[in-house]
Structure 1
């Protein structure tokens, strides 16, 4: 993990370091938060130093999820190194997957409803049939494509942090493994 994190950090900050003058301030403001967010959201670990950048990133929202994703992607693109080779794909994967692939969110968005018709014989001699439709809510056990893209993106280091337990027809659900 450390090797990947160091390589990513070097890539993200190399352009900024080379372009600096006498000032020791490497990055400040949203540029700094943007670069830090990319690093923090690429790692399976989130140290306390990530809190300001993650707070900024997750505070970005809009009425529609597609707009939220676009705005978060725009924020990550503020980082000067976001245009370097491989990083635009990373930014896209983060914007689409980060914060949307934990157990709580997967249990919400992967909730499905199906209707089952249950029939039984009724009446004195059980010659009549009565049927009722029963709606069953279940959680889909397959991750959405954006989660797979986020987790399998070459720059991210993510140990599976969620897994599906149980059977969809018997209350199966996503749980956090950390």
Structure 2
């Protein structure tokens, strides 16, 4: 992954990096109004580092919302945001249409915090402590000891997040999944993965796991995954 042009260099440097222009004088004309905001938004949405200079373009971008009679129309909102980003002069360069599409789908929805919230679920740590006679006099029933665990069921990124995170101009957006869904897995920033995975291994091994089963369904409620 390559590092983005330094943010302090501003939108002009980024726009020039994205779309080399035949005449330098054209850059000033292109980077005004909506085209300038679109280029700045493309820059700012390509990094987890978002200084105050990003505020106008990000406010404009996230302020683009479309509604229908049921509330927020996500598909229409994505299309409108894509159209806005498409007004950056670089948006038609090789690879950029896919980039703009990935940003419009993924911005704000591909970071660890969002993924952990959106795909949160419960897993179950359980074991059988004994048996008791069924109330109808039939086969004995198991007596379970069960503990609910917070977990995240999504272990692979959606396609647009892969494109969004792995583009050559993306900076510090990548995330990785730690652990297993049945044992409290979750997403972290890629830079924190090794430490997080080591911590998860230490917390979820040994006596914590010995003699226990781990499932995504409560064993007391029928079938077990």
Q: Structure 1-normalised TM-score? A: 0.72
- 5+ long unaligned stretches in structure 2: 7-12, 67-71, 193-225
> Deviation of residue 160 (structure 1)?
4.8
Tell whether the 8 Å contact from 1:164 to 1:172 is kept in structure 2 after alignment.
Answer: yes
* Equivalent residues, number: 173
- 5+ long unaligned stretches in structure 1: none
Tell whether the 8 Å contact from 1:93 to 1:153 is kept in structure 2 after alignment.
Answer: no
Distance in structure 1 (CA, Å) of the matches to 2:76 and 2:123: 30
> Is 2:131 the counterpart of 1:121?
yes
The answer for the alignment partner of 1:45 in structure 2 is 49
Runs of 4+ with deviation above 6 angstroms: 134-137
5 Å matches for 1:26-65?
Answer: 27-62=31-66, 63-65=72-74
> Deviation of residue 123 (structure 1)?
2.0
Tell whether the 8 Å contact from 1:5 to 1:43 is kept in structure 2 after alignment.
Answer: no
> Is 2:89 the counterpart of 1:85?
no
Structure 1 pair 148–172 and aligned structure 2 pair: CA distance change class (3 A): same
Tell whether the 8 Å contact from 1:113 to 1:136 is kept in structure 2 after alignment.
Answer: yes
5 Å matches for 1:1-150?
Answer: 1-2=2-3, 4-5=4-5, 9-12=15-18, 14-15=20-21, 18=24, 20=26, 27-62=31-66, 63-111=72-120, 121-123=131-133, 127-129=139-141, 138-140=151-153, 141-150=155-164
| Aligned CA-pair RMSD | 3.9
Indicate the larger mover: 164-173 or 31-40.
164-173
